[in-house]
Amino acid sequence: MRVLVATTAGAGHFAPLVPFAAALCDSGHAVQVAAPFSFAASVQRAGFDHLPFADCPAEEFAAVAARLPSLSMADANAMMVRDVFCGMDARAALPGMQAAIEQWQPDLILRETCEFASYVAAERLGIPHVQVSVSLASVEAFIQVLIDEPLRELGASSGAKGIAGAPRLTLVPSSLDDLPESESPRPYRFRLRIPSDSPELPRSWWPDARPPLVYVTFGSVAAGIGFFPDFYRAMLTALADLPVRILLTVGDAGDPERLSPLPLNVHVERWWPQEQVMAHAAAMVTHGGFTTTLLGLSSGLPMVVIPLFAFDQHTTAHKMQAVGAGIVLEDAGAATVQARSALERVLADSVYRTAALRLADEMAHLPHPSACVPLLEARVRNK
């Protein structure tokens, strides 16, 4: 079976696809990843072959981005879905996507929620498709409401109906999701693949390797949209004299040198495999990104969550707080003052750790991603 995995140029959008793509490869199926030219390094770093297509023209996105600060959170996110993901991104991608599909002739397309060119091409060419969730169910439902007209403008005669009726794979456990299990069609739930043993982090990073490790990350986007370096520096200052070790990752858009001089208990990297960090951490401070939050919870980590720029971060953060696994600091500006006491609470009060471990246990008992392979094979047979 030949499977085309389709993603936008976002680490948080690609990461949920990776466990399923890897499971397909492990089962002997051929996998290629269709993604924008700008995302080549991320695809290659994950170990997959890359079929590139065009990025959205920078000037088009800049015109939309200039309007976002004047809008409410809901309106800004609706614009991102309708005008960017299902608009300019999909229009730019569609010619290259269709050419790649016609050339490689996949039997199945495995796409993430916000990548739409592959769906339009799949409908045109009669190829079965499956969606992988990149957020909680309520966010996916919000997106569904917005995309029917843009999809029809792109040439998808079924509009959003064709996506709504397709099978959906998700890494979210039932107790963390936020729509009832009666939703139709019901999602297939799987667990994240977490290594059972991870190498120790370099001891040279901190003068004392004994204090608990706190992982601080605000994802791969925040540093490139105005939060770096001031927000990061203020956060480190707030946490500097706590009796913990801190590992901060800033993403490719952040330069660690701009945060110097660093407190003695802090080490900064652009990127580090999160699975390796989670295995040794006691808590996490993060922005509520989908995959990062799920990784933390699957490792039983209580967390302080500071949503920064997207409403799905707020949704994930508040659901995580509702199940008792951490604390949400809603105002990013005030969070640099509040983060210290919030982190002290999640480290000291076992209720947060207990709730996180309960979720980790639930996630551990979900099917392994390899269980998706028979489902996808059946989707091809029954097209």
Q: In the prediction, which pLDDT does 174 show?
A: 92
Is residue 197 situated within a structural domain? no
Note whether 179 and 324 are same-domain residues: no
The answer to whether the beta carbons of residues 307 and 313 sit under 8 Å apart is: yes
Note whether 343 and 239 are same-domain residues: yes
Instruction: Say which residue the tokens 């933390």 belong to.
Output: 296
Note whether 236 and 174 are same-domain residues: no
Note whether 183 and 277 are same-domain residues: no
**Beta-bridge partners for 109:** 4, 129
Q: Give residue-wise pLDDT tens across range 229-252.
A: 999 999 999 999 899 999 999 988
Is residue 126 situated within a structural domain? yes
Per-residue pLDDT band at 280 (split at 50, 70, 90): very high
Structural domain boundaries enclosing 259 = 203-364
E-strand ranges in 88-212 read: 108-112, 129-132, 168-170, 188-189
Q: Tell me how far apart the alpha carbons of residues 383 and 379 are, in angstroms, rounded to a whole number.
A: 6
E-strand ranges in 186-232 read: 188-189, 213-217
Report how far apart, in Å, the C-alpha atoms of 267 and of each of 11, 87, 210, 378 are.
22, 40, 15, 47
Note whether 166 and 95 are same-domain residues: yes
Q: Tell me how far apart the alpha carbons of residues 215 and 236 are, in angstroms, rounded to a whole number.
A: 12
Report how far apart, in Å, the C-alpha atoms of 373 and of each of 162, 250, 267, 319 are.
22, 35, 40, 30
| CATH code of residue 343 | 3.40.50.2000
The whole model's pTM is what? 0.92
Note whether 173 and 303 are same-domain residues: no
Is residue 176 situated within a structural domain? yes
The answer to whether the beta carbons of residues 53 and 37 sit under 8 Å apart is: yes
CA 71 from centroid of its chain's CA atoms: 24
Note whether 115 and 235 are same-domain residues: no
Domain count, the chain: 2
Per-residue pLDDT band at 183 (split at 50, 70, 90): low
Is residue 198 situated within a structural domain? no
Mean pLDDT (the chain, rounded): 93
Note whether 279 and 172 are same-domain residues: no
**Residue 309 token pair:** 């720029």
Residue 105: pLDDT over 80: yes
Note whether 94 and 182 are same-domain residues: yes
Note whether 184 and 36 are same-domain residues: yes
Type of residue at 244: V
Q: Tell me how far apart the alpha carbons of residues 144 and 332 are, in angstroms, rounded to a whole number.
A: 28
